[in-house]
Structure 1
């Protein structure tokens, strides 16, 4: 059985000069690693991912980057990781066989869900299958009333009998979600502890330890997701730590959370639902630091890798952190009519919109003869046809090679060979169905992908009442810089930045990320009860400082709504002793945010407090400037190649170092080791003082 004893988190050294820091991020196609040395050395490496055992690729890439850097494994003082293992378990339906234990009469909460459809008029849409089958959902003859009374308490003999049945059924994980347990958490924890004692080796989750909030469906769903991915995450992190230790890397393993902060691997094993958006969050964290460095008030982070494209909005140096989102629905957005497609999760997560368009996305023609890109992906095995690893289906990468946008020789610093003839052969199959030329088909696929990705950007901007034209776009990921300029033009965004190491930017984000912990408590008293508020905040603060230490920087947050509303907005509470003036300022901030988001606001008498939160942060001391240094220049000289835009055009191919402060007219291709930047005709490009590639469109 997993050890549930909770110890103070083990933090990596905060001194960037004390040794090597290694950031490793897993993507669907590539595993990206960046090592930062004590003297400021930056060593990047990009290798193909190794499914199904992704940890093997992390260990191999880590030892490889240390060898290239000339550093001993025991010189690593911080091992920082972004992983897709929890996401993959859900998307591939490869999680543990999970049981749900609940109150009599509430067996079908997961099945009933909410009356929401992601596509209102699609009669063929089918609700996602619950992660726990009905035969694996069990009821106890107990009840916690709304005011916290036991009527009656759970019978120990009944719990033991249930444990025997779960053992006989081969259950691997259990989510305990009793009605109203957020009011009386000790009862649910008692049941969970009894099941752990009776079921050694089975992963048991109590919903109040994951999401102690009202709304039975969302709390049950969150606990079920946590239990479903728990064994996979625990096993993966255990194997990864063992593999790193075998290679001599003994630094504490820290994992990126969906909220954008790091947490130690042991804590993550207990609450793996917190790392569903681990990899994407690392990239947004890096963009947040870049926005602060450049003084940008509004930034759209655009990340496109091998399987998906993701977007997030950062305003005044902070990303939106959502309390509710969905996983497993194809596009991870939980707002408005877009919700209902996946499994609700109620843990803090950076608000990231995601669509199935990446370098490995498959190009296909539907029954009506329309061209589609994704969401199916060739992944890393076999990968795009042009990689020569046996892939036969045409992908966006094959289209980009045929269009001349990608090198016809090699990618990832020469580690991945490219075969243009195989790309052309794969595209021919789709072109024949469309009765078009292969290059027309390739360009059409490029434009379809751009259209797909506007959906993700609009989800985090215009659907939140923000105008994307007011923002700067920061593009990263292996494929992001190829599409960012055209995507920006489609949305009316005037400026695009492509930072150094764009293809490894999520790994770079791990190097500069803070360590972070969130604690939450439901609140049932009046907002004006200052003494009750102070008591609750003191208890949450004690939990956070016990984990992170007394030097943690604390932030108090309120989940507020108007009476009768279903959804809340998260509002920051100013520092200092709780006073009526402090609460009045929070209410005013809530009214303004509600007006901005929904176009209307109410009065103070309607404001209702739902949850209290405390966020603790141990700030990173690694300056972003230290990791923005580009890789050493190679000996390539500028060249040209034919690229297809509206017509075939002879296009300069440059290195990042070839750009200067003076703008150059497009079309231009800029090749880095880890990504390629496309500057279309009509755009201009230059390089700023932090080595960012800056692409601008005219006002027209």
Structure 2
């Protein structure tokens, strides 16, 4: 049989989403509860069930793409490997000295997180490379043997090597890494010069340590998932979504797991960007609300922003990234995503003052919301939405997940008694508080960066995104919402549109006015050769199937924060680069200094494999559509009160707008069209909601 299907799987905090897409754009899907004890188990059961339902043989799957939270969860839960660090003498405390930043400036009780490597396992080598790359003190193998003996005796499971100034001369680091790999053959060793050869000893050390800390866990997970896919009969190469918006082979990701810190959210953003190109919407705010968190990303002129650094393990992060210090810095290219702890599983409770709070604690998949009947006792946002009539009171995912409405109502009512509100008002308060929390994420990527959210369309994805989209858009002043096909599983669908991609970096510490095109080409050549070799090894052998783009990190001499800009060819390209830097500096920081010297910090290469066939179909439709019985259900809309609201499938909508209120029910999500909004269906089968003129 021909391999005619592509399979995407996204693990969330509550659900695991499985999407199967045929060559002509027909989409089949399955949503199952996640299995936190072993996430690959949920993948196997979900994929197996979907293939059985459709009667499709696993051999027909030609591509498997996966987004996972395993890397992030490992750090958040502090379940990574017992790690050791070998560094230059005098620098063992770099991880704790860090950057003297705190996310809560006036909180005298704030305690910085412990380093991922305890101090007694941060060992020193008496070596020194100078800033110009010359050797001040040569590396002694006796130091390496002593360190190896300690690591072995302490049962260390992963080792990082990060020497000072290795970005200009990596000889000592590579020798140390090779020695430790021979001496400790079952312990993965990560050298910072292979991972992040650029300026900044703390950031470079932190990135390397995070990679080592999660590497054994991710390697085991990838191996386990590969075994499950083999058992299912899926022979397609395993590709994993990266934080930058591209995909890479599973074995490469296992060695460098820092590239998948924001794997799942990145898939939804990439899918949104490709959808925007297809339907001609260049400016949008992607709003992704799942079971545990809500995310927001801005797309401008069909492009999303890439951050050179993210922090992991410090809780949800607002996209403005003006306040740092809560987590561990990781310098890996990541789509700029704002995240808050508000999702369908977010728990509602009372605070010390007797007020109503929502999140960031989540019921997750186990025990889940009260209505799931899996042992949950604390009401959640999902329970509130059921009480309000937004969600089908009988069951979710087309009857596959039965709901206990009475239990949810009782839990909401009990909470209401504590705050002096009825069950209805308590439920609506929970819904509104969740909106207010999620509005912080939307503003973090829009108004806090000088953008007016009213000028953007909202792309509502995630299982709960379309339930809250209208009320959230009203609060943000937005007037247009797009709910794509399989919106509740859109991250699993979006990753099928991604290209194979690798992002490489090398140090290049030179003043711009001292560099010509020849010098730049000489510095970039090894990077380009490495990138092209990787693409050739992954099935992209010709120049037509390879795309290579060179970027530079630039800053004013003496400045701390660089900006990343694309480099054009030739000396004229360098002149254009200088002008572009001043303009970008003005846009980002509010000022420019054309008279000041500019310097390179690093060169970065983005290399992509170009598929011979389009990654995205011309249209998308759901196959094996599950019938939704048209009916009327009472739903509560705040000041408008309880309204008898028509409920029906997406297929009922046409290009002619229909006024709300109405509820569109689907297998994976529910679209709540509030009073004052209208809904229609476009040529790509998106539900487009528009706010009526006041």
TM-score range (shorter-chain normalised) is over 0.9
| Alignment: residue pair count | 682
- Structure 1 residue 251 displacement after superposition: 1.1
1:648 is matched with 642
* Alignment-derived partner of residue 541 in structure 1: 528
Q: Give how far 1:335 is off.
A: 5.0
Structure 2 equivalent of residue 5 of structure 1: none
Deviations 1:513-549 (A, max 9, x none): 1000011111122224122211112221111000012
Where 1:400 maps in the other structure, the secondary structure is: helix
Asked if 2 retains the 8 angstrom alpha-carbon contact of 1:119 and 1:337, the reply is no
Deviations 1:303-352 (A, max 9, x none): 11110001111112211011011111212347554211111110111111
* Structure 2 residue 578 is matched with structure 1 residue 578: no
In 1, Cα distance between equivalents of 2:397 and 2:126 = 59
The equivalent residue for 1:11 is: none
Cα shift readout 1:385-441 (whole Å, capped 9, x = no counterpart): 101111111111101101111000111122111111111122233212212112111
Distance across 1 between alignment mates of 2:453 and 2:578: 27
Indicate if the aligned counterparts of 1:655 and 1:670 stay in contact, CA closer than 8 A: yes
Other-structure match for 1:370: 355
Q: Does 1:482 align with 2:497?
A: no
For the pair 1:587 / 2:578, whether they are aligned, the reply is yes
The aligned counterpart of 2:180 is 195
Structure 2 length-normalised TM: 0.96
Provide the residue aligned with 1:13 in structure 2: none
- Post-superposition offset of 1:699: 5.1
Q: Which residue of 1 aligns with 2:683?
A: 689
Give the 5 Å matches for 1:159-558. Answer: 159-333=144-318, 336-528=321-513, 529-530=515-516, 531-549=518-536, 550=542, 551-558=545-552
Q: CA RMSD in A?
A: 1.7
Q: Is the 8 A contact 1:465 1:597 kept in 2?
A: no
> Can you give the 5+ residue segments of structure 1 that lack an aligned partner in the other structure?
1-15
Say whether the 8 Å CA contact 2:342–2:438 is kept in structure 1: yes
Alignment of 1:51-70 (within 5 A): 51-70=36-55
From 563, 574, 581, give the equivalent of 1:569.
Answer: 563
Change (3 A) 1:40 1:97: same
Distance 1:566 1:641 in 2: 58
1:34 deviates by 0.9
Contact 1:501 1:628 in 2 (8 A): no
Q: Which whole-Å CA distance do the structure 1 matches of 2:583 and 2:116 have between them?
A: 39
- Per the alignment, in what secondary structure is the counterpart of residue 662 of structure 1? coil
Note if contact 2:242-2:248 (Cα within 8 Å) is conserved in structure 1: yes
CA offsets per residue over residues 473-497 of structure 1, 9 Å max, x none? 1010001111112111111122110
- Equivalent of 2:608, from 617, 637, 640? 617
Moved over 4 A (4+): 333-336
Q: Is 2:663 the counterpart of 1:669?
A: yes
**Is the contact made by 1:633 and 1:657 (CA closer than 8 Å) also made in structure 2?**
no
2:570 match: secondary structure = coil
Q: Secondary structure at the match of 2:622?
A: coil
Report the Cα distance in structure 2 between the residues aligned to 1:587 and 1:638, rounded to whole angstroms: 61
Hey, what does 1:9 align to over in structure 2?
none
The answer to whether the 8 Å contact 2:511/2:597 transfers is: no
Q: Deviations over 1:196-225 (max 9, x none)?
A: 111122121111111111111111111111
> Given that residues 309 and 329 in structure 2 are in contact (C-alpha distance below 8 angstroms), is that contact kept between their aligned partners in structure 1?
yes
Aligned to 1:26: 11
Deviation, structure 1 residue 632: 4.2
The separation in 1 between residues aligned to 2:619 and 2:207, in whole angstroms, is: 36
Q: Is the 8 A contact 1:638 1:653 kept in 2?
A: yes
How far apart, CA to CA, are the structure 2 residues paired with 1:615 and 1:63? Answer: 36
Name whichever of 644-653 and 382-391 sits farther off.
644-653
User: Relative to structure 1, is the Cα distance of residues 254 and 633 closer, same or farther in structure 2, using a 3 angstrom cutoff?
Assistant: closer
Q: 1:682 to 1:41 in 2, by over 3 A?
A: closer
Contact kept? 1:656, 1:670, Cα under 8 Å: yes
1:41 Cα offset (Å): 3.6
Relative distance call for 1:141 and 1:547 in structure 2 (3 A) is same
Report the TM-score, using the length of structure 1 for normalisation: 0.95
Contact kept, 8 Å, 2:496 with 2:615, in 1: the verdict is no
Q: Is the deviation greater in 616-625 or in 648-657?
A: 616-625
Whether 1:145 and 2:145 are equivalent positions in the alignment is no
Q: Is the 8 A contact 1:18 1:38 kept in 2?
A: no
Query: 1:159-203, CA deviations, whole angstroms, 9 ceiling, x for partnerless residues?
Result: 112111111111111111111111111211111111111112212
- Mean CA deviation greater in 444-453 or 130-139: 130-139
- Corresponding residue for 2:651? 657
Structure 2: 5+ residue stretches without partners: 537-541
C-alpha separation between the residues in 2 aligned to 1:152 and 1:217? Answer: 21
Q: Is the 8 A contact 1:468 1:493 kept in 2?
A: yes
Q: Corresponding residue for 1:8?
A: none
Q: Counterparts of 1:281 and 1:266 in 2: how far apart (Å)?
A: 20
